[in-house]
Amino acid sequence: MTEYNILLEAAKMPDAWYNIIPDLPKPMDPPLHPATHQPLQPSDLEAIFPKSLIAQEMSGEPMISIPGEVMDIYRLYRPTPLRRAYRLEKMLGTPAKIFYKNESVSPSGSHKINTSIAQAYYNKQEGVNEITTETGAGQWGTALSIACAMFDMKCTVYMVRVSFTQKPYRRILMQTYGGNVVSSPSDTTESGRAFLAKDPDTTGSLGMAISEAVEAAATSGGRAKYSLGSVLNHVLLHQTIIGLEAKEQMASVGAEPDVVIGCCGGGSNFAGIAFPFVPDKLKNGRDIDFIAVEPTACPTLTRGLYAYDFGDTAHLTPLLLQYTLGHQFVPPGIHAGGLRYHGVAQQLALLVKEGVMRAVACHQNPVFEALKMFSVSEGILAAPESGHAIRVAIDEALKCKESGEAKTILFNLSGHGHFDMSAYDAYLSNKLDDFELDQSVIDAAEAMIPKV
* pLDDT at residue 1, as a whole number: 43
- The residues with which 144 forms a beta bridge, in sequence order, are none
Element at 386 (helix H, strand E): helix 384-403
**Are 159 and 171 in contact, with CB atoms under 8 Å apart?**
yes
Domain ranges in the chain? 37-66+111-233, 75-109+239-448
Q: Which residues contact 76 (CB under 8 A, 6 or more apart)?
A: 107
Give which of 196, 198, 163, 199 is closest to 181, Cα–Cα. 163
* pLDDT at residue 337, as a whole number: 66
Tell me the residue type at 352: V
Q: Is the dihedral of CA 270, 275, 276, 277 positive or negative?
A: positive
Count CB-CB contacts under 10 A for residue 148: 27
Count CB-CB contacts under 10 A for residue 223: 11
* pLDDT at residue 3, as a whole number: 65
Element at 18 (helix H, strand E): strand 16-18
Element at 400 (helix H, strand E): helix 384-403
* pLDDT at residue 314, as a whole number: 76
**Are 93 and 397 in contact, with CB atoms under 8 Å apart?**
no
Tell me the residue type at 288: I
CA distance 289 to 267: 17
The pTM is what? 0.94
SS3 124: helix
Check for a shared fold between 37-66+111-233 and 75-109+239-448: yes
- CA distance readout (Å), 425 to 111, 283, 372, 385: 25, 46, 12, 16
Count CB-CB contacts under 10 A for residue 83: 21
Element at 211 (helix H, strand E): helix 206-218
* pLDDT at residue 228, as a whole number: 92
CATH of domain 75-109+239-448: 3.40.50.1100
**Are 350 and 28 in contact, with CB atoms under 8 Å apart?**
yes
243-279 confidence digits (pLDDT tens)? 999 999 999 999 999 999 999 999 999 999 999 999 9
Report the CATH architecture of 37-66+111-233: 3-Layer(aba) Sandwich (3.40)
CA distance 195 to 309: 19
Buried b (16+ CB within 10 A) or exposed e, 64-82: bebbeebbebbeeebbbbb
Report, as ranges of residue numbers, the positions in the chain whose pLDDT lies below 50: 1
